[in-house]
Chain A
Amino acid sequence: EAGVVQSPRYKIIEKKQPVAFWCNPISGHNTLYWYRQNLGQGPELLIRYENEEAVDDSQLPKDRFSAERLKGVDSTLKIQPAELGDSAVYLCASSLRTSMETQYFGPGTRLLVL
């Protein structure tokens, strides 16, 4: 069974530029998560989707971050414009039904903002 797929794996951009990350969850997983992981720290939740509905986006900086999961399968996370402090690894995860189940993570996208 394929795991969570993310692309790109690495991205280097200049500040104020836009950037987008893509995630395809494990087949059949209804719940999808985007996390941000700063160096030396654990991942922190940005947004959680149940099917196509964003059920928890309280930690998403909405002035510059946006996300979508239009058909309830794959998802895109966008930053516009990017700031230096956005440099981090952006992880996508999925779980079968709810957040009370095991979450499986993708390899992440490593973003460097110059």
Chain B
Amino acid sequence: GESVGLHLPTLSVQEGDNSIINCAYSNSASDYFIWYKQESGKGPQFIIDIRSNMDKRQGQRVTVLLNKTVKHLSLQIAATQPGDSAVYFCAEILPDNQGGKLIFGQGTELSVKP
């Protein structure tokens, strides 16, 4: 079935560098996307979201880019810190007429080296 997937299972970056985590989705009808951060032993934590009428949205040190033409989503973390080490999931919310479910991708584990 259709699902959201991530290109890389692991990403290692140096503290202070920028991180880019990518995600490909396959349901062209989805119009709401969310990035979650999950630290060990904790539940997913909302980071940032974006709707399909936007191609970019910025938060504090994080930016989400959406390219609907190629169905690609990315999360950029500026000046990555050790506290950013976690698994990052992109997720899409299916349209209401397809159940309105939150579908998670596999996840990318980000490791920040001091």
Contact = CB atoms under 8 A, between A and B. Distances in A.
B43 A40 contact: no
Given A40-B107, A42-B104, A100 B93 contact: yes
B53 to A, nearest CB: 14
Residue in A58, A100, A104 with the greatest tally of chain B CB atoms within 10 Å: A100
A62 to B, nearest CB: 18
Contact of B34 (A4, A33, A102): A102
Say which size band chain B's interface belongs to: 20 to 34
Interface string A40-51: 111111001000
Say which size band chain A's interface belongs to: 20 to 34
Main SS class of interface, A: loop
B96 A100 contact: yes
A107 B39 CA distance: 10
A80 to B, nearest CB: 24
B32 A100 contact: yes
A23 B79 CA distance: 36
Contacts of A93: 43
Interface in A90-108: 91, 93, 98-100, 102-108
